[in-house]
Structure 1
Amino acid sequence: MDDVMDERLPEQEIWVKAVVARQNESRWRVTDGSSTFEVHVEKDALDRLKRENLKITRGNILRIRYYIRQSVKNHDLSSQYVVTEILEIKKRMKQIEMPWTIQ
């Protein structure tokens, strides 16, 4: 008999930086400063961004609420990070054009 487990771990909060975040897609790549990983953003969180006309772009820093869904099947362990809510967004800084040229 195969060893099968599917468990939702308790929700947590973390600051992450967006590496790849497309507005209408639920799979984003983020970094916590030491690791880069993929997160799945729930439909409710994406809908809220759309309703509030908020755009997540590369370089934005986000405080997210998430949980980890862990599964074991045939002795293979997998973890999926699932974002339930985006709590805060810090937009990346933009470089401004200077009205002169340096020679």
Structure 2
Amino acid sequence: MTTRTIRDNPQFQKPTSLRWTGEKAAKFKKWSPKPVINWGLFTSLAEFWEDAVVDNIEEEYDRLVQHLRDNAKKAEGSRATKRRLSYETLELIRQRGAVRAAGNYQLTYELAK
């Protein structure tokens, strides 16, 4: 009695057209796994990307500085306005803010009159 392995069983074998034999195997061996890198192209793309990123950061920084300056001017303007308002007007503004924060819109409307 002979024992048969899976290799001997034709059910488990690939068709001959899918096997790597002869010429197909030789073609595969000629393939080089080393990638070819064009360093000149890589460097120019990296420099272009770096320039674009730096420009974007500078634009965002300028926009932030302008925003901070505008807000500082507005804050200074509101401080000057508060100094000119009477004590009664400032107290009324404070009361309206407290009532609005509490959610009593009817009283807020009456205080606005």
Which category describes the TM-score, using the shorter chain as reference length?
under 0.3
Q: Larger radius of gyration, structure 1 or 2?
A: 2
TM-score (norm 1): 0.20
The higher relative CO (CA closer than 8 Å, separation ≥ 6) is in 1
Query: Quick check: which one's strand share is greater?
Result: 1
TM-score (norm 2): 0.19
Query: Quick check: which one's helix share is greater?
Result: 2
